[in-house]
């Protein structure tokens, strides 16, 4: 998954602009969300339910919160191998590749949220919608 692909960014921002649920859930948000996949980034400025600007990097003014992780984690979302909840929630639920259960009790997550966690929590439904649209656009684009 590359968040700096211009075609992907154009399709993503267009889909976010047309999504009534994203608009409703971010109606009272004035901030920015940084998406990070490995070394690629996409900064989204959201104001009153709309993405009003985007950049392929983090600007000097920073971000309200960031959702990021390795490209491999994002690719698991695109392929359907893992769900967003599996990747963002600490802990291990699948041990197919670990029959000895050596990772039992491990409390790490593959995708993480950083920054203003209060705002990120307040926008939980918007973040879930954002992730659903990322998956949809990513699958269509073959990202």
pLDDT in tens, 14-37: 999 999 999 999 999 999 999 999
pLDDT in tens, 82-114: 899 888 876 666 667 777 877 666 656 789 999
Q: For 69-90, what is the mean pLDDT?
A: 90
- pLDDT of 143 over the 70 cut: no
- The encoded tokens of residue 54 equal 């985007």
Q: How many CB atoms lie within 10 A of CB 65?
A: 19
Q: Supply the CATH number for residue 12's domain.
A: 3.30.1050.10
The model carries a pTM of: 0.88
- So what's the pLDDT on residue 88? 87
- pLDDT of 3 over the 90 cut: yes
* 66 lies in some domain: yes
Closest CA to 26 of 101, 111, 129, 109: 129
Query: Which domain, by its residues, includes 81?
Result: 6-94+102-141
- So what's the pLDDT on residue 99? 78
Rg (C-alpha) for the chain, rounded Å, is 15
Instruction: Quickly tell me which residue has 């992730």 as its tokens.
Output: 131
* 1 lies in some domain: no
Domains in the chain, number: 1
- pLDDT of 126 over the 90 cut: yes
Higher pLDDT: 143 or 139? It is: 139
Strand partners, 112: 68
CA torsion through residues 33, 34, 35, 41, sign: positive
* 129 lies in some domain: yes
Q: How many CB atoms lie within 10 A of CB 61?
A: 8
* 127 lies in some domain: yes
Alpha-carbon gap, residue 143 to 137, rounded angstroms: 8
Strand partners, 42: 35
């Amino acid at each position: 998954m590359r968040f700096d692909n211009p075609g992907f960014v154009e399709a993503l921002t267009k889909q976010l602009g047309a999504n009534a649920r994203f608009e409703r859930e971010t109606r009272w948000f004035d901030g920015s969300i940084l998406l990070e996949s490995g070394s690629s980034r996409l900064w989204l400025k959201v104001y009153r339910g709309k993405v009003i600007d985007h950049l392929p990097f983090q600007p000097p003014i920073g971000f309200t919160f960031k959702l990021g992780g390795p490209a491999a984690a994002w690719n698991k979302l695109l392929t359907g191998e893992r769900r967003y909840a599996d990747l963002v929630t600490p802990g291990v639920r699948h041990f197919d590749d670990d029959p000895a259960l050596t990772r039992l009790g491990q409390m790490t997550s593959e995708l993480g949220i950083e920054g203003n966690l209060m705002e990120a929590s307040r926008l939980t439904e918007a973040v879930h919608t954002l992730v659903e649209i990322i998956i949809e656009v990513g699958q269509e684009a073959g990202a």
